[in-house]
Structure 1
């Protein structure tokens, strides 16, 4: 069962006082790459959030975005150091008078001066708030996982189609191969007879040379290995877990055998099928990058 690394999930909760919106977006990546966009009060929960995400989504570039508004919380979140503010403001007024500058912005400048604003915002959530939020986050992650599973099912159907195409072309190569070998044999004998008198031709030596050149161009082992790789790919494809990296390694081995068949075949008809197999393999390699 394949799982894609591309996914999306969203969940929300809204009542008279509370509004929670959670979004999870994922893209392909070699590793688990987490990017959280959280309110500051959630900082202490980041490790737990990472565990929640990694347990379910495992790998990929993950963006978790949380919008949290609690309208029940009406306490002031900041205080002001009035004495310090006055000192800043008076000093700024003196400077402005000396250079005959307008004082319209002095209030804002003094208010933003160091240590004038005292932040009293709580940096933590209550257990009740966290439990409520956690359930929404888990729901969004689950929806993202379901999205990835649906995408994975579509990818699996594509892979099966690509592998079947390669297997069909490999069968055609196997049908053409005996004729190719015979053509090579005939061509070599013909070329030798052009330069060597048939009476002086050593028949045993000729057969040895024919065997030598035909063995160099023989693709029997490559055909067997490629068929084995295709079968292995289908076995992994139907496994209960998603094994994108393993499929990637198998596709590399498939590529080596296809390339060797193409280089050793030395035959125009076989080369056409080799080109088609390469095209299908490129589709596999491209899509595997998105498999968990």
Structure 2
């Protein structure tokens, strides 16, 4: 099933005295760009999040955020780097010996030194014990996110089929008038030859047919119409695939646009050129929609 790159999903996991809120959101992007935002206490689930995301998402700019709320107040604990403190003391002893300075170390300065002492918040909940529940919550949020992408993908698919049908209708209309262009070319050539010769010379029928054949070959759009129909059929085939198809559709639209431009340049007819303009508009609509497809 075709999916959109944009989507949102969320879930809430209750764990003991706290809860974890999980939010997943994504917007369009050429490649997969994943940003995971976690509180310090939940850093241990980052790898699991990245793996779960890559299992279901191939393109898009994604943000996965986990928010932590605890019913009890977290504790603040002072930690001391004793090895670093010993090195400070050794350095002070060397300074005293070299300079003869007997001033003691400033304890207050040491306590305020962020390299030696640090204040950390310690959670009252052992979140590693809740890893299984948290991972299940992540799975639920991603499932909700993916469901939204599928729903939006269905709307995109329906809209695309409308524009594809209109392109086929234009091809059919052009194909109906294309054979009549040969008769018009013949009349124009005969008229110009009469004008140039002022009706004094007999016109060589074989020469006229040769000129018409050359012109017809230059202005023949039959192959372009066949390829356009083939591209539309291939587009429809991709829409039925249960995988990322955005890049394939984008490439196919480039090919379709190339065929339309060729039809417009070959066919010197206002009716055909009008349909060429319409097809370009339909292709532009498809291109806008493809930007949202994974």
Task: Bin the TM-score by the shorter chain.
Answer: 0.7 to 0.9
Cα displacement string for residues 95-152 of structure 1 (whole angstroms, at most 9, x for unaligned residues): xxxxxxxxxxxxxxx9754336324557996542211211111111110000000000
1:170-189 aligned at under 5 Å gives the runs: 170-189=171-190
TM-score by length of structure 1 reads: 0.83
- In structure 2, do the counterparts of structure 1 residues 204 and 134 end up closer, same or farther at CA, with 3 Å as the change threshold? same
Q: How many residues align?
A: 271
TM-score by length of structure 2 reads: 0.83
2:78 alignment counterpart: 78
- In structure 2, do the counterparts of structure 1 residues 128 and 44 end up closer, same or farther at CA, with 3 Å as the change threshold? closer
1:164 alignment counterpart: 165
CA contact (8 A) 1:42 1:125 kept: no
- In structure 2, do the counterparts of structure 1 residues 55 and 183 end up closer, same or farther at CA, with 3 Å as the change threshold? same
Name stretches of at least 5 consecutive residues in structure 1 with no aligned partner. Answer: 92-109
Tell me the distance in 2 between the aligned counterparts of 1:168 and 1:43. Answer: 56
Query: Aligned-pair distance for 1:232?
Result: 1.4
Tell me the distance in 1 between the aligned counterparts of 2:112 and 2:179. Answer: 86
Query: Aligned-pair distance for 1:185?
Result: 2.0
1:196-211 aligned at under 5 Å gives the runs: 196=197, 197=199, 199-211=201-213
2:144 alignment counterpart: 143
- In structure 2, do the counterparts of structure 1 residues 76 and 114 end up closer, same or farther at CA, with 3 Å as the change threshold? closer
CA RMSD across the alignment: 2.7
Tell me the distance in 1 between the aligned counterparts of 2:12 and 2:200. Answer: 89
Query: Aligned-pair distance for 1:272?
Result: 1.1
Query: Aligned-pair distance for 1:256?
Result: 1.1
2:92 alignment counterpart: none
Q: Which of 261, 267, 277 does residue 269 from structure 2 map onto?
A: 267
1:5 alignment counterpart: 5
Tell me the distance in 2 between the aligned counterparts of 1:186 and 1:262. Answer: 22
Query: Aligned-pair distance for 1:80?
Result: 6.7
Q: Which of 79, 82, 106 does residue 87 from structure 1 map onto?
A: 106
Tell me the distance in 2 between the aligned counterparts of 1:201 and 1:169. Answer: 38
Tell me the distance in 2 between the aligned counterparts of 1:125 and 1:216. Answer: 78
Tell me the distance in 1 between the aligned counterparts of 2:200 and 2:216. Answer: 21
2:218 alignment counterpart: 216
Of 134-143 and 40-49, the range deviating more from structure 2: 40-49
Query: Aligned-pair distance for 1:157?
Result: 0.2
Of 57-66 and 181-190, the range deviating more from structure 2: 181-190
Name stretches of at least 5 consecutive residues in structure 2 with no aligned partner. Answer: 89-104
Query: Aligned-pair distance for 1:42?
Result: 3.2
CA contact (8 A) 1:185 1:214 kept: no
Tell me the distance in 1 between the aligned counterparts of 2:122 and 2:181. Answer: 80
Query: Aligned-pair distance for 1:165?
Result: 0.8
